[in-house]
Chains A and B, each alone.
Chain A
């Protein structure tokens, strides 16, 4: 028995030693030596992950840990929401261990699996921003681009499933009145809870349930923390580039091959935002010379918001270096400043006042070479090469004051708009040209300078009143405005060939007075609705031009115009709609009594033309679950336009002189048929749209081209012409929960047939275009994200009876790859590569670009370092087709540059 007890005793002693209880006591101190209460201390084995014991600190910061562990050393950790986590490895023995921590508010990483990324509630799709936001995303447009079904274009315009949105709201209020790029590029992604896509959106409450639309709108729902608080963000950037020299202010025009941009590079921003229930405000300044076209944010994306169209006639322009088609930061040499304030005040729950004021100043320098390859005949082409440098000065001011009462019992809106611009282009170029083919001719070299002053001014007011009377709806609308353009284009052509130098001066004073009034009356009868309206339009164009220095091809042809061309329309509109069980049928047949008067004071000719125009249209659509399809057809006739009534020559540009009056007004008939099939599923995050279109256009006039050297003289000829075009398109996107993946694809095919009149000979020709592309984003590892996009396009045009070997196929391709590495929660590294290819340039068919950026995010400060154009590409060539002509543009690029940016959140 004794024998048994001895080993048992030994076992107990050994085990007791191995499992001996360790007691650690101590105090947790802050940086001031004060005990920290309500935090907790844990212990785990060194190298092991599991917590073996834990204790809270008391009011004085003291703690006591008791645990049993076999390991020689242990890890003691102190944690809490108000302190930085502190870890200490110590020997596994009973001891006193005081710990010192820093006070720091811990911010937890946001994460959510709560819902599907997209939830559908009736016609509203809710995209949860947290589900799409990635670490590098700063503003809401970064996240919008990741959302399936939503497409953000280069200029900031938003489409949902291929359809442009008609309204953009922040917290259900339309502060920016179409300039929603200001919102998407400045509202922090972390402040937005949900992006709502409102389908079949009717913004007028009085028409909700009465007049259904298929319009789409977007509403940003902010987090509570972003509501009712003033947010002020600021940004400062500085950097340099490897060439281009140093300088502040404008540089002299050079030979067209100088680098874009100059040192030092700078950018700055100050953005203030306030979104509350009663008022919203967004005021910002942005400026830079880094090639960032901040004026894109000022683009109004609402089309035809009921205001009268004001288009003072101006057919003139300076010939400028063409854009490269690359992202603007690569080729834009700018000094941009924008200043805007937007304020919305809710007077009561249905009434709001909105003021938008926008000012844009810019000085844009462009350098490049344009080569034009004009079709003259099947055996001859005109080649011209022009090296250009230009400086454009822009000063634009736009204001918009809006009153709106949008109540269930009625709608009243009044918009007063003012737009003014003082803009000019100064261009210097070297032109050489010649004929190729059977009889080659060299037209020699010319030095050309162009100066185009193009100020403009417009003011308009629009009033809209809608009232319901039982089942009846009355819609009254009145809009009127005035616009003016007093423009001058001056050109000096210095030629080495004797007697061919010239100085042209084109003056133009163009005025447009327009008014529009319409009233609609609707009657609802079950699933049927009948809409009748009377529309009255008046548009008065006063055009005065005077051209000096041009010798017209026919003797006695005038170089002056002084005329008033007025149009008056009275339209009886009638629309019939049927809506039932997902079906929507509509039939429209407006009757337009269209009167035009021409008072040509040079020719002492007064004419009045009156036409009855009928423009029928019909559409059928059906929607069931996630599928929708529609077929539509329309026909319209257009008679006359200001561009087709002047008899004196006008210099379009120094290489194109045009007069367009023939005895009859131009008449254009257009027929259009289209079909669309669309699918959108919030559950599957799948969106696609297939569409097909056919259009046939018939004109009673054709523009005839005559070439005098590199100069074209264009005259309207009384001869019928027609064109046909066919287009097929597909675009789709799908989001996957798997690895936060979104894929997109698109494809398009276009075929058109048309005619060109050159030297009195008619050339029927056709043009084919094919484009395909795909892309997507995937996050294979929590710290690694890939964004890929790829696009290809083929273009070819040829005369129908000409030799096919004259036709050149233009092939272009672009591939972009971007890799984001989230090194820590604060640090994001991004590497991007881009290949641009075209098959027509003699060298550098593939142009590679590479960019790097590093972002470091602190609580209130973001730091970013960018290195752009790492391969230091200096030029880029773009080729494009226009009818039978091929244009090749070579643009100078911004050289390799480095920019450091710091962003503060002031409030």
Chain B
């Protein structure tokens, strides 16, 4: 009986951890106009890009991803952003062109990934990360009704102090070496391919002598795994600076944390009919400090 009780407790803790871990389940998708979805400015051109699945339940099925991220590798700039969001924007632009619609447009159109989270926001999907030399800039787009707080900041890159190990695994046909680091309160494991001479990876990860094809924190709350390497001509674009005023990382971090933890409270939502605020969902941020 005692044994069963222990197992039950462990299950609760583990499952609770998983529930807690889910990114993209709180805030609501922001409107397109304030994000500047159709005002992007081309700043470089990538000849190669790496696509990453974020928290895939089945790596072969896009519909089980939280997001499909992409690292575009230009001559001067690396950019990490959401491919799902980009494709959705392209569909809207096409739809507007075909229908001649002048008014507001749907917030998402054919957004990929897990169905239940199509209308949810996460900074990992709605922020773009640019790497120029040894600087990283995040253009952060906040969720619905909070998008007046959109902003951007710049910090040094890479900040991860990696420790190389002797472990290897093969990802996408590439032999990858293991490296570990502690970054902003979490322990991360990365697998990089020395034969892919790219110093980047998903999100803010980078600085290893080869492209990071898989990276996760030790609790595996956040897992990125490369699913494709593609050659082509991919314009690297960014939202106009006027929509993303300069601010500090600290401010952006606090806002994002708040919107993730309790979106409704943070945006001051109140039902006219007196409905109760939707239940607060526990959240475990990627950066703890």
Contact = CB atoms under 8 A, between A and B. Distances in A.
B194 A114 contact: no
A130 B231 CA distance: 11
A50 B177 contact: yes
A209 interface: no
Interface stretch (B4-12, B23-31, B57-65, B250-258): B57-65
A212 interface: no
Dominant SS among interface residues on chain A: loop
Contacts of A80: 197
Contact of A51 (B61, B68, B164, B232): B164
Contacts of B228: 110-114, 130
A782 B59 CA distance: 21
A115 B60 contact: yes
B172 A113 contact: yes
B229 A52 contact: no
Contact of A81 (B98, B165, B198, B233): B198
B48 interface: yes
A54 interface: yes
B267 to A, nearest CB: 34
Contact of B209 (A79, A106, A224): A79
B48 A108 contact: yes
Nearest to A109: B229
A845 B219 CA distance: 68
A49 interface: yes
B215 interface: no
Contacts of A85: 197
Nearest to B208: A54
B194 A51 contact: yes
B230 A112 contact: yes
B246 interface: no
Given A54-B209, A113-B59, A114-B51, A79 B194 contact: yes
Contacts of A82: 75
Interface in B215-236: 227-234
Contacts of B231: 107-108, 110, 190, 225
Contacts of B61: 115-116
Interface residues of B, number: 37
Nearest to A43: B209
Interface in A572-621: none
A699 B53 CA distance: 66
A42 interface: yes
B194 A113 contact: no
A105 B197 CA distance: 11
B273 interface: no
Nearest to A41: B209
Interface in A110-133: 110-116, 119, 130
A720 interface: no
Contact of A114 (B62, B133, B165, B196): B62
A51 B166 CA distance: 8
A143 to B, nearest CB: 16
B259 to A, nearest CB: 29
A38 B200 CA distance: 12
A471 interface: no
Interface in B59-104: 59-62, 68, 73, 75, 98
Given A51-B209, A113-B172, 9 more contacts: A39-B197, A40-B197, A82-B75, A110-B230, A110-B231, A111-B228, A112-B172, A113-B60, A225-B234
15 contacts: A40-B199, A49-B177, A50-B164, A50-B168, A51-B194, A80-B197, A81-B48, A82-B75, A109-B173, A109-B229, A111-B173, A112-B228, A130-B228, A130-B230, A190-B231
Q: 10 tightest A-B contacts by CB?
A: A112-B228, A114-B227, A79-B197, A54-B209, A225-B232, A225-B233, A42-B209, A114-B228, A111-B172, A50-B166
